[in-house]
Amino acid sequence: MSLHGRWTRAVSAIMATGLLLAAAGCAKDEESGSAGTASTLKIGFLGSLSGTYQAVGTDLKKGFELYLKMHDNKLGGHPIDLKVADEGDGVDTAVPAATKLIKEEKVLALTGIVGGGSVAGVAGLLNEAKVPLIGSNGRPDLKDVSRVWTTSFMSTDPGQSIAQYIKDKVDGPVFAIGPNYQGGFDEVGGFTTEFAKIGGKLANPDGKTLWTPFPTTTNFLPYLSQVKAANAKAVYTFYAGKAAIDFVKQYKQSDAKDIPLYGAFLTEGSVLQAEGDSALGVYTVCNYSPDLDNEENRKFVAAWQQAYPDATPTTYAMASYDAAAVLDRAIAAAGDNVTSETINEQVGKLGQISSPRGQWQFGKNHAPIQKWYLRQVKSDGRAIANVLVQDLATVGA
């Protein structure tokens, strides 16, 4: 059977099962909410709704809103007033937007945030206002994470989890390239650090990652010429959003096109359709795949396909959906005393979390301990998709 056929049959089965589960869940929510009234809570969402990472930010928003829709717009039994702000391309626009949400809108908690630099930029504000962030994308290592959580990953995790696989599969040096901002430094750095630790060699002439200016680089061909000249046996990179589209399409137009390409999130989400056949054969590492077989994923995929029938659920949407689930449990556990402080306290007590990606829990660094997966872009002539290849490492601390 074709990839398209398998996906169609899988989605049909998932929707049939998941919609029943979702309906049961909604009925339960309505019953529990009928006894007495609960106060409306303000939650802030901050994400890149414009700029290079608009596609990522939009998926984060959709994932959070999907969970709300499936739970009668309530978290922990309380109606939610979701305040939305645009992160833009990074810290310069993220901090003012977060300041407005926290100081003017007076949200109890913040969620979302695409850029690792943005997370670092708002960390001081969170501590000052004593408001927790339940972030839903990668973040850097921070000295103080007392009010910073992520349901997604530490930005170094993807590269760390795939390093051994590439070392085993690639017979020769690997070229490292990525964008020169915090997220790029962490994403590619996670790979290069682990790769060096296990005896891998970089093809870069100076032994250091080649950094491209962010977000201004749209022509990657000069950089790809350097990849070809280095006689690399493979390439490892990280780009997302529009930058990923430009990189992948130009890669297949360059002299480096026959060199195996590995990356983190390079073909994730709506960018894959824009990349088209240029993405065929590309390997990526991810903490989620929509064809994972577990109850939470069946429920998530069914609801997603009903809301967005022409789109495949992404890791960004999944992590934001999980952020809403985390807040749901934490707010419920806070009981009659729901404050920013009690929400933050209860998040730290959650333990195992059932998720579309499988079971995970927060580690000491307030990021998930979770499994990572290897995928490859394949086609049956009618559709292209990130197809699950195998499990990789479980990463987190």
Walk along the chain (397 residues) and give the pLDDT tens digit of each residue.
Answer: 444 444 445 445 444 444 444 443 333 333 333 345 789 999 999 999 999 899 999 999 999 999 999 999 999 999 999 999 999 999 999 999 999 999 999 999 999 999 999 999 999 999 999 999 999 999 989 999 999 999 999 999 999 999 999 999 999 999 999 999 988 999 999 999 999 999 999 999 999 999 999 999 999 999 999 999 999 999 999 998 899 999 999 999 999 999 999 999 899 988 999 999 999 999 999 999 998 999 999 999 999 999 999 899 999 999 999 999 999 999 999 999 999 999 999 999 999 999 999 999 999 999 999 999 999 999 966 789 999 999 999 998 6
Tokens at residue 23, please?
């309906």
The whole-angstrom separation of Cα 52 and Cα 212 is 14
Q: Is 40 left (phi over 0), alpha (psi -120 to 50) or beta?
A: beta
pLDDT at 38: 85
pLDDT at 32: 37
The whole-angstrom separation of Cα 349 and Cα 337 is 16
pLDDT at 30: 37
pLDDT at 36: 55
DSSP 209: P
Displacement of CA 14 from its chain's centroid (Å): 22
Q: What are phi and psi of 50, to 5 degrees?
A: -150, 165
pLDDT at 291: 85
Nearest 5°: CA angle at 245, between 243 and 251? Answer: 100
Packing angle of the helix pair 91-99, 116-129 (nearest 10 deg): 30
Displacement of CA 337 from its chain's centroid (Å): 31
pLDDT at 342: 98
Burial 98-119 (b: 16+ CB within 10 A, else e): beebbeeeebbbbbbbbbbbbb
pTM above 0.75, yes or no: yes
Q: Give SS3 for 95.
A: helix
The whole-angstrom separation of Cα 161 and Cα 362 is 17
Residue 43's H or E segment, with its range, is strand 41-47
pLDDT at 326: 98
